[in-house]
Amino acid sequence: MRKNGPLALIFHALVILFVLAPLAIVVLVAFTPDETLTLPTHGFSLRWFRAILDYPDFISAFFNSLRLAFASATLSLIVALPAALAIGRARFPGRGFLNGLLLSPLVIPGLVLGIALLRFFALVGATGSFAWLVLAHMIIITPFVMRLVLASVSGLDRSVEHAAASLGADAWTTFRRITFPMILPGITGGWLLAFINSFDELTMSIFVTSPQTVTLPVRMYMYATESIDPMMASVSALVIFITAGAMLLLDRVYGLNRVLIGQH
Amino acid sequence: MASAPPLSSDNADNADSARNANESGNGSNGDSGQRAGSTRRAPWHAFVPLWLMCAPAFLLFAALVLIPLAMTLVLTFYRFDPASGPIAAFQFGNYAEVLTSSYFHTIFLRTFGIAFVTTLLCVVIGTPEAYVLSRMRDPWRSLFLLVILAPLLVSVVVRAFGWSMLLNPDGLVNQAFALVDLGPYKLEYTTFAIVIALVHVMLPFMVIPVWTALQKLDPQTENAALSLMASPATTLRRIVLPQLTPGILSGSLMVFGLSASAFAIPGLLGGRRLKVAATAVYDEFLSSLNWPLGATIAVLLLIANLIVMLTYYRLLERRYARSMG
């Protein structure tokens, strides 16, 4: 393999700077002791993190997002796992259509899904309820669960299952003791990726949340369009830390590169 | 088992045969012979358990994707009355309004202009970066790949906020300009700011497919060209780049589609004045409450997006076919 020349490495350094700069600056400013968003900052303080505690809108939005991400990722897994097992392992009429339908939210813009669900919820009288918001988020995140579970199902070595069956294990035992442990990384990886995506989702949520069910990204968007002070930075820094934590976990259980690049 | 006729890349056929073997109770022997026939002749009730496994997901998606999308399409034909809201009708007034008003022409031109420049910049930055990454050695390679891709998972609001701090009149970018006695420039609330932040958000979508294409590339072809006295530049242009074209193509389609319908970045970095199609839809839905018009803009955005992407695909596919043949 040939090495990169100095020009290539300078280019690379600039790209990395470009990618990290906006995130680094948010984290830096979050620790400012100053009253306004000025740079460079003068010293180090946690006052703007404490300020979040006195601003109940962010606190309730944060817990809304957390509950929403937890509920929708879990329910999405329950719904998607059997479908992924069927689609990944058997050939049946309607398989291609189902596969396309369950992955379609990846190509339908969140904006279009958002207005479509807003219209639908208005007609069935479901606007503002948390349960319907969970269902809406399940739509957005199910493709991620599907993709990871499908990838691990299709990479499965069937001969182990056949060995279990030939040794007298019934179908359920084979699934519980053989298949499930083998696809477990795909399942936990899918759940975590779904969790992160639900926690971060903005475009669709902005249409279907109500003042009672506002999520953290929606609250942050509204806050940022109205006022800009260092609290926005400290909330953003917290989001970065939480996302980084979830990513580390994801890396441990499934491998982050595998999740992001996918298996082809 | 693998030698049986319908060769497929996944395990679907194996699954069928295993199930049939279990049902008929004759173990795993001799199923490969009857299998090709059994997948073709399977009675409909053999599929019921599979359909049942897919039923919950299907019902969810039918109720919350297919029906709402159909409703939105119907909504575009409704009439809007400022006093009483949408009125059921079948007329093309909303389409006529969007397609004939210069206000919406500007918005759509801006939207697709931004998406086009963003895509171009992502190709120009993402392709060489993926190539540089692929030539690194391993602790660095995985580390930097992670640095490039991980922002994908950080909320887009956070990233937009980061850019607004970099680009505002007292931001770091203007401070850097001041060091060399330039500026300050108005960077925030410009199309420039929207494009820069969109490139930041979209770059991973460009790097991923190019990276995947690079993994499939046989390094021996590169070495062969070099040993035949081709210069590194020629090797890159004649050997490496053509093999990356499918990756670049699918990456730019993805970037273009996502940029054209992006909402948060133009909303936060474009300000109220610089509207794009997505923020116009938002305003119609949540400020003017003219849902039929908002739905029409969204449907037209979707259609325009589809047309541009298909044309682009055809065009590049033809050029690609010619350069290879």
Rounded Cα–Cα distance for residues A39 and A258 (Å): 38
- Chain A contact set for B15 (CB, 8 A): 89-91, 158
Contact yes or no for B155 and A80 at CB 8 A: no
Report the share of chain B in percent with pLDDT over 70: 85
Closest residue of A to B254, CA-based?
A: A107
Q: Which of A95-104, A233-242, B108-117, B303-312 has the lowest mean pLDDT?
A: B303-312
**Position B61 pLDDT exceeds 80:** yes
Query: Which range has the top average pLDDT, A97-101, B44-48, B222-226?
Result: A97-101
The pLDDT assigned to A2 comes to 63
**Position A36 pLDDT exceeds 90:** no
**Position A10 pLDDT exceeds 50:** yes
Q: What is the pLDDT of residues B235-287, one digit of tens each?
A: 888 888 888 888 888 888 889 989 999 999 999 898 778 899 999 999 998 88
Q: Shortest Cα distance from A70 to chain B (angstroms)?
A: 16
- Chain B contact set for A161 (CB, 8 A): 18
Q: How confident is the model at residue B323 (pLDDT cuts 50, 70, 90)?
A: low
Q: Which of B248-252, B303-307, B319-323 has the lowest mean pLDDT?
A: B319-323
Q: How confident is the model at residue A262 (pLDDT cuts 50, 70, 90)?
A: low
The pLDDT assigned to B189 comes to 84
The pLDDT assigned to B106 comes to 93
- ipTM here: 0.86
The pLDDT assigned to B200 comes to 94
If one compares B125 and B178, the residue with the highest pLDDT of the two is B125
How is residue A253 written in tokens?
């259980």
The pLDDT assigned to B20 comes to 42
Q: Is residue A25 part of a domain?
A: no
Task: Work out the angle between the directed axes of helices B102-134 and B277-286 (0-180°, nearest 10).
Answer: 130
Among A105, A162, A202, whose Cβ lies nearest the Cβ of B157? A202
Q: What is the pLDDT of residues A114-136, one digit of tens each?
A: 999 999 998 888 777 899 999 99
The pLDDT assigned to B18 comes to 42
**Position B30 pLDDT exceeds 60:** no
Contact yes or no for A25 and B166 at CB 8 A: yes
Q: How many residues does chain A have?
A: 264
Q: What is the mean pLDDT of residues A200-204?
A: 91
The pLDDT assigned to B25 comes to 39
Contact yes or no for B261 and A112 at CB 8 A: yes
The pLDDT assigned to B324 comes to 52
Contact B39, B5 (CB under 8 A): no
Q: How confident is the model at residue B41 (pLDDT cuts 50, 70, 90)?
A: low
Provide the number of structural domains found in chain A: 1
Q: What is the mean pLDDT of residues B166-175?
A: 82
Domain with A246 in it: 55-261
Averaged pLDDT score across all residues of chain B:
81
Q: Is residue A2 part of a domain?
A: no
Which pTM was predicted? 0.83
The angle subtended at Cα A75 by Cα A66 and Cα B65, nearest 5°, is 100
The pLDDT assigned to B113 comes to 95
**Position A155 pLDDT exceeds 70:** yes
H/E/C letters for each residue in chain B? CCCCCCCCCCCHHHHHHHHHHHHHCCCCCCHHHHHHHHHHHCCHHHHHHHHHHHHHHHHHHHHHHHHHHHHHHHHCCCEEECCCEEECCCCCHHHHHHHHCHHHHHHHHHHHHHHHHHHHHHHHHHHHHHHHHHCCCHHHHHHHHHHHHHHHHCCHHHHHHHHHHHHCCCCHHHHHHHHCCCCCCCCCCCHHHHHHHHHHHHHHHHHHHHHHHHHHCCHHHHHHHHHCCCCHHHHHHHHHHHHHHHHHHHHHHHHHHHHHCCCHHHHHHCCCCCCCHHHHHHHHHHCCCCHHHHHHHHHHHHHHHHHHHHHHHHHHHHHHHHHHC
Averaged pLDDT score across all residues of chain A:
86
Backbone angles phi, psi at B297, to 5 degrees: -60, -45
The pLDDT assigned to A70 comes to 95
Q: Shortest Cα distance from A139 to chain B (angstroms)?
A: 7
According to CATH, the superfamily of the domain at B97-324 is: MetI-like (1.10.3720.10)
CATH code for the domain in which residue A168 is found:
1.10.3720.10
Q: What is the pLDDT of residues B113-164, one digit of tens each?
A: 999 999 999 999 999 999 999 888 878 888 888 888 888 888 899 999 999 8
The pLDDT assigned to B95 comes to 92
Rounded Cα–Cα distance for residues B93 and B100 (Å): 10
The pLDDT assigned to A177 comes to 87
Q: Is residue A243 part of a domain?
A: yes
Q: What is the pLDDT of residues B108-123, one digit of tens each?
A: 999 999 999 999 999 9
Q: What is the mean pLDDT of residues A190-217?
A: 90
Q: Shortest Cα distance from B319 to chain A (angstroms)?
A: 25
Is A252 an interface residue toward B (CB < 8 Å)? Answer: no
Please report, for chain B, the start and end positions of each structural domain, with discontinuous segments joined by +.
1-40, 97-324
The pLDDT assigned to B48 comes to 83
The pLDDT assigned to B22 comes to 42
If one compares A36 and B12, the residue with the highest pLDDT of the two is A36
The pLDDT assigned to A263 comes to 46
Q: What is the mean pLDDT of residues B290-297?
A: 93
The pLDDT assigned to B80 comes to 87
If one compares B318 and A182, the residue with the highest pLDDT of the two is A182
Q: Is residue A181 part of a domain?
A: yes
